[in-house]
């Protein structure tokens, strides 16, 4: 135990911790948390007003830049830049391709996908987009397609932008630590991490990431807590919620303590195996044909309407795009820097082409499998009137 404590103390004594950014971020986050705790109702109103203002001002920018991110990443991947190898031409990869792909997906997608993949279509099936009649066969295809669209290649393209920028800086300049401000070295700024600009960038990153993480935890923690209560026959309570949260934090903390190879990689491998088993069980023990049929219809609709879905809200005013698409693009932007740090760390020896296509293809494919299988299963329950998923979703329309 004493040896472990000494290791922790020594790690803080090294110049790897920017105390200015750390302390400033800590106090700001604590201050915001106390404000929310003691002014819950007014904070909810303030956040809603702020969200509406952001959508009004920056919504079109999100809608325009996200498709451009996808196009730009494809250009980098298939141009000569795509052959650039992170760590130098002699660099060797640290992880097998399968483990690397698993870590890409797990690093970019949180537990919220378990919830949203099963119910998100229910929020869309009553929409009248593109002249489609609500609850028609086309409406079900549209509702599946929009889940695939919001969690698909466009989202991963947003992730890929900071991942590429940070990966290049990290390996080109042989940096000892990963900080978002390091990506600015590509602009010719030396030692930018310790400058005022660098600390501002890192401060914004820390606060924004904690805020985004709060939204994610808020979406899947009740689901985990309810499942935990049902399995162990417990009454739902704040103590159960707190215990489940502590368990999740403990698992994450233990994996970080064990290191990248012995901790995070193994946790990712286990996660992918369990997820694969779960999806296979649902697919083959559930309504297999109906799941495959809804997945096929959703994919066809998404690919044939990809441009219209990407530009909805730009070519015409759309409350749907403001409420959903802009929200999702902003969500991916908020998590992009955090995902970039992780992708940069695990991608030594990979080319930019591998990193970009790995994120766009395998990241999106992982998300799509969840949405196609779990979404198709719950859709079949709704159509056969076993469980009114669309009505339940419709009663909670706000994100």
Residue 9 lies in a domain: no
Identify whether 283 is part of a domain: yes
pLDDT in tens, 51-65: 888 888 888 899 999
Residue ranges, the chain, pLDDT below 50: 1-14, 399
pLDDT attached to residue 3: 40
Measured CA to CA in angstroms, residue 378 lies from 9, 243, 298 at distances of 50, 29, 14
Q: Are 348 and 342 in contact (CB under 8 A)?
A: no
Confirm whether 95 is domain-assigned: yes
What's the confidence (pLDDT) of residue 84? 94
Residue 127: phi, psi to the nearest 5?
-80, 155
What is the domain extent for residue 208? 18-394
Distance CA 334, CA 329 (A): 9
Q: Return the DSSP state at 195.
A: S
Domain membership of residue 2 (yes or no) is: no
Query: What pLDDT sits at residue 219?
Result: 66
Q: What is the pLDDT of residue 237?
A: 74
SS3 at position 136? coil
Range list of H helices, the chain? 2-13, 19-38, 40-78, 97-108, 112-124, 137-150, 153-172, 196-231, 238-258, 265-285, 288-304, 306-311, 319-320, 326-346, 352-357, 364-383, 389-394
Nearest Cα to Cα of residue 267 among 244, 246, 248, 241: 248
368 falls within a domain: yes
How many percent of the chain have pLDDT more than 90? Answer: 44
The CA-atom distances, in angstroms, between 74 and each of 6, 77, 300 are: 47, 5, 21
How much is the mean pLDDT over the chain? 85
Distance between CA atoms of 242 and 287, rounded to whole angstroms?
Answer: 36
Query: What per-residue confidence (pLDDT) applies to 190?
Result: 76
Tell whether 138 is covered by a domain: yes
pLDDT digits (tens, 9 = 90+) for 165-178: 989 988 988 887 77
Query: Which residue reads 């339940």 in tokens?
Result: 392
* Number of domains comprising the chain: 1
**Nearest alpha-carbon partner for 66 in 314, 337, 370:** 314
C-alpha to C-alpha distance for 353 and 360, rounded to whole angstroms: 10
Classify the C-alpha dihedral 276-297-300-116 as positive or negative: negative
Query: What is the pLDDT, as a whole number, of residue 370?
Result: 96
pLDDT value for 4? 39
Domain assignment present for 268: yes
| Nearest CA-CA partner of 301 in 146, 127, 129 | 146
Q: Is residue 344 within 8 Å of 178, Cβ to Cβ?
A: yes
Length of the chain: 399
Structure tokens at 222: 């009740």
Q: How far is the C-alpha of 188 from the C-alpha of 84, rounded, in Å? A: 19
Alpha-carbon span 201 to 262, nearest angstrom: 31
Are 106 and 270 in contact by the 8 Å Cβ rule? The answer is: no
CA-CA distance, 349 to 83, in Å (whole number)? 11
Q: pLDDT tens for residues 196-243?
A: 888 888 888 888 888 777 766 766 677 777 777 777 777 777 788 778
Q: Give the span between the Cα atoms of 306 and 94, in whole angstroms.
A: 36
Residue 13 counted as domain residue: no
Please give the pLDDT value at position 367. Answer: 95
What is the distance in angstroms between the CA of the first residue and the CA of the last residue of the chain?
45
């Amino acid at each position: 135990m004493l040896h472990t404590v000494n290791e922790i103390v020594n790690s803080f004594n090294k110049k790897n911790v920017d105390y200015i950014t750390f302390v400033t971020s800590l106090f700001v986050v604590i201050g915001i948390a106390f404000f929310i705790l003691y002014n819950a109702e007014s904070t909810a109103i303030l956040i809603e007003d702020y969200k509406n203002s952001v959508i009004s001002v920056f919504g079109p920018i999100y809608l325009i830049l996200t498709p451009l991110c996808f196009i730009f990443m494809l250009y980098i991947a298939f141009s000569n830049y795509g052959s650039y190898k992170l760590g130098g031409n002699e660099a060797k990869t640290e992880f097998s391709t399968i483990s690397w792909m698993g870590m890409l997906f797990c690093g970019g997608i949180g537990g919220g996908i378990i919830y949203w993949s099963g119910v998100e279509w229910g929020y869309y099936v009553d929409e009248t987009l593109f002249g489609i009649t609500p609850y028609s066969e086309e409406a079900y295809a549209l509702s599946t397609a929009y889940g695939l669209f919001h969690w698909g290649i466009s989202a991963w393209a947003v992730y890929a932008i900071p991942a590429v920028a940070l990966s290049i800086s990290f390996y080109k300049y042989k940096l000892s630590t990963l900080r978002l401000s390091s990506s600015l070295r590509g602009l010719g700024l030396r030692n930018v991490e310790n400058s005022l600009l660098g600390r501002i960038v890192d401060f914004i990153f820390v606060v924004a990431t904690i805020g985004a993480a709060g939204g994610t935890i808020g979406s899947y923690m009740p689901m985990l807590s309810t499942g935990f209560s049902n399995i162990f026959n417990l009454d739902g309570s704040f103590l159960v919620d707190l215990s489940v949260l502590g368990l999740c934090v403990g698992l994450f903390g233990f994996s970080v303590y064990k290191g990248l190879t012995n901790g995070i990689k193994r946790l990712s491998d286990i996660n992918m195996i369990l997820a694969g088993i779960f999806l296979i069980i649902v697919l083959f023990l559930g309504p297999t044909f109906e799941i495959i049929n809804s997945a096929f219809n959703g994919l066809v609709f998404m690919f044939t309407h990809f441009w219209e879905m990407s530009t909805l809200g730009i070519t015409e005013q759309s409350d749907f795009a403001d409420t959903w698409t802009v929200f999702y693009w902003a969500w991916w932007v908020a998590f992009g820097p955090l995902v970039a740090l992780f992708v940069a760390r695990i991608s030594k020896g990979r080319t930019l082409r591998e990193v970009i296509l790995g994120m766009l293809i395998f990241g999106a494919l992982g998300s799509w499998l969840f949405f196609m299988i779990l979404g198709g299963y719950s859709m079949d329950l709704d159509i056969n009137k076993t469980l009114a998923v669309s009505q339940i979703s419709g009663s909670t329309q706000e994100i």
